[in-house]
Each structure stands twice: as structure tokens, then as C-alpha cells.
Structure 1
């Protein structure tokens, strides 16, 4: 198993645009005909889990991978 510095160096040398293109092509080929691939993203709001209320706030979004169009947004409180 490679160590963290090795993984970091390899990732820093990647051509991000080329990787995105290859992944998009792979997703398109792996998706059944007539179906869209939906990507989900979640981010925690920095500092939201501190203070009297220990529940962090999370921002959620869903988008169509092929077009990048956002099809849903929301937020949630999780402990």
C-alpha cells in the first residue's frame, strides 16, 4: 500500500480535465440506455457543530452528471 506522500504526488500530477473526460465516458458507457447518472454532493458548514447546539449543518445537492444541471438542493442537521 503506497504511503500518503506518494498518493499525493501522483494525484498532483494528474491532468484533471483528462481524468474528468475519461470518467464521464466510462459513466456513459456503464449507464443503461435512456438513464441519466446523478451525482450527489454533501458539505458540512464549517463551525456549525460547535457551541450550544452540537448538530452540524450539511448542504446537499444533486445534479445530472452529463449536463451538470442541479436538480435538487437542501440542507440537513445531523449529530
Structure 2
């Protein structure tokens, strides 16, 4: 995860990519959060498990899975 973060950080330097137009610092901070880099390693597994449990059989997840089956033939 740290390697991915570092690659994005290097790519963002003087970047004209639209994803960085609103400001690099905020984007990088959000990426650190999404990659769990600000969280102690012993808490990461529990956080991921919680995310999976919240999304399992959630309306939005179910509809997205149905869309994938319909549009791309990707089964759940």
C-alpha cells in the first residue's frame, strides 16, 4: 500500500491530471485513508471485515452486481 501511495504522490508532482485539479494534498490524504495507511496494522483487518459486512447484501451492492451480470456477464 505504501508503494502505491508513493507512486501516486510522485505522479501528482506538477500534474495536470483532472483528478489533482482540486488540490494534491487533499487527494493524497484521502488515498492514505483508503489504503489504511493512517491506521495501526492490527486494526486494519477488523476495519476491512466491517466494510465487507456492511456492503454484503446492501441494496447498492446488489444492484451493482446485477448491473455487472447484465452488462458484462460478470457473476457474483
Provide TM-score, normalisation by structure 2.
0.28
Provide TM-score, normalisation by structure 1.
0.27
Q: Which has the higher helix share?
A: 2
Specify which structure has the bigger relative contact order, considering alpha-carbon pairs within 8 angstroms and separated by 6 or more residues.
1
